[in-house]
Amino acid sequence: MAVYTEVTDDALRAFLSAYDIGEVVAFRGIAEGVENSNYMLRTTAGDFILTLYEKRVDPADLPWFLGLMQHLASQGVTCPQPVPGRDGEALRILADRHAAITTFLPGIWPRRPQIAHCGPLGQALGRLHEAGASYAPRRPNALGPNGWRPLLERSLGRADEVAPGLGADLSAVLDRLLADWPRDLPEGQIHADLFPDNVFFLDHKISGLIDFYFAATDLLAYDLAICLNAWCFEADGAFNVTRGRALIAGYQSVRPLTAAEGDAMPILAQGAALRFLLTRLYDWLNTPPGALVTPKDPVEYLRKLRFHRHATGLAAYAG
């Protein structure tokens, strides 16, 4: 939940005067997204989202993110579309933050992912990858393999508070993953954070993908591995192979995986599990007890990581 920066009505009005989107009618903070401040903005011209970029986002990356969203929307991917001001600029300053207005997407994100969500999700991910192929600028993935060791080192001293031996265990996993990490798989623009709260559904169809602020240029199959982690485990920790099959089949109906991508899926899925384990571990160790925003349990991803270590080939996920 996130409104870190308050916007005065005078500042909002001055900001909107740079746009051709009418007069403000309603303005409410949205309790979703953890990185930035988001407001639902209704004007006489329609509904929009106003985002103020907070400190975790590097301002130098913003043109790349907004450019990607604009490009994907032009290719038919339903994602928030940056709204330019009269000067053509989509990115400006509000309340001492970089800020942008994007289009509002209808839909509800699934609080409890089900099999019926996974096929459409796979298709949407495949289309995103296809559409991204014609977006030329590259953005290295700061939370990809090269980012994992520095991330682990920030938590290593206290990792054993979460589970005995966790620090040594993760160090060994990391060494092995970095040695075995596939380097020659197809690359492209990936979302890199396509969890259920970033996927809106309406009438059992996908109505929008949101929150592209972790997107980067990386292995396409790694994005699918992130979704396997985020969508295909039961609440009790068991992998649901029916969901996995639906997700992978949906993806392949748009973009068939190469044999090498299929073979690499267990290691890609371990990498994805480690990546979310590491950021959750850091947040877990650095959020005070009793805070209203409860950090997510890193142990959930430790269990997922263990599952992937015993998986072989694509069949482990698609049955």
Cβ closest to its own copies, residue 8 vs residue 146: 8
Per CB under 8 A, 60 contacts its own copies: no
Q: Report if residue 42 touches its own copies, rule: CB under 8 A.
A: yes
Which residue in 18, 21, 27, 311 binds its own copies (CB under 8 A)? 27
Give the integer Cα–Cα distance in Å for 312 and 218.
22
What type of residue sits at position 42?
A: R
**C-beta of 223: minimal distance to its own copies in Å?**
24
Residue 283 in tokens: 């947040």
Does 235 interact with its own copies (rule: CB under 8 A)?
Answer: no
In this structure, the number of other CB atoms found within 10 A of the CB of residue 91 comes to 17
Q: Rg of the Cα trace of the chain?
A: 20
Dihedral over alpha carbons 125, 128, 132, 138 (to 10 degrees): -50
The reply to whether 3 sits near its own copies by the rule CB under 8 A is: yes
Shortest Cβ 294–its own copies spacing (Å): 10
Q: Of 201, 212, 239, 276, which lies in the binding site for its own copies, with binding defined by CB under 8 A?
A: 201
Inter-helix orientation angle 220-231/241-252, to 10°: 150
d(CA 7, CA 32): 17
DSSP annotation string for 274-304: HHHHHHHHHHHHHS-TT-SSPPPPTHHHHHH
Among the listed residues 40, 73, 133, 311, the single contact to its own copies using CB under 8 A: 40
- Interaction of residue 7 with its own copies, rule CB under 8 A: yes
Smallest distance from its own copies to CB 231, Å: 14
Contact pattern for its own copies over residues 291 through 310, marking x by CB under 8 A? xxx-----------------
Q: Which residues bind its own copies (CB under 8 A)?
A: 1-3, 6-10, 12, 24-32, 40, 42, 104-108, 110-112, 201-202, 287-293
